[in-house]
Amino acid sequence: MVQYRRARVAGATYFFTVALEDRRASLLTEHVELLRAAFRSVHAARPFDLDAIAVMPEHLHAIWVLPEGDADYATRWQLIKTGFTRALRETGVPLPSRSNGTPAVWQRRYWEHLIRDEDDWQRHRDYIFYNPVKHGQVSRVADWPHSSFHRMVRRGELPSDWGGDAAASASGHFGEP
């Protein structure tokens, strides 16, 4: 089996990309309340700060800050994925199966990036918030309902017109190399 090298720094800040197995599916936004419930359940048992998130139909991006002395994001993601999958099954959502019979909802792996500094954090936050525009879901960041962008606007940390519109922001890189 391939051994993946993952950054594991206790109390650190991480950027994640987590995707569904079927990248044409829209389970995450169609059942966003079930996803939120899975996040709340895991957060109650294994706290972390959710700095930013955008939930797309078939993937999500998030920035987490783990507690001091804790580097176990892997278990948190496993529990979120399992909780969401279980909730889908319990509500009767038809789910594809792998050859071994387990539900094929999530990609087995995910992308994580250890945030290095404030500039790195801001680039990844910007990428998260602009992702719905990039993928053609909306023309303005403020129009995507499944994003913590709205929380930052309520707190006065970002203006409601941040990111402009798709036409005006087409040249923005927002965290991409």
**Domain range annotation of the chain:** 13-154
Is the pTM for the entire model greater than 0.85? Answer: yes
With a cut of 70, list the residues of the chain below it in pLDDT. 1-4, 165-177
Angle at 25 between CA 144 and CA 7, to 5 degrees: 75
In the three-class reduction of DSSP (H, G, I as helix; E, B as strand; rest coil), residue 34 is classed as: helix
Which residues are CB-neighbours of 15 under 8 A, at least 6 positions away? 61, 62, 63, 112, 113, 115, 124, 128
pLDDT for res 166: 59
pLDDT at position 177 is 46
Q: What is the pLDDT of residue 7?
A: 82
CA dist., res. 174 & res. 177, Å (int):
9
pLDDT of residue 16: 98
Quote the pLDDT of residue 5.
72
| CA gap 98, 163 in Å, rounded | 40
Q: 13-154 has which CATH code? A: 3.30.70.1290
Tally of residues, the chain:
177
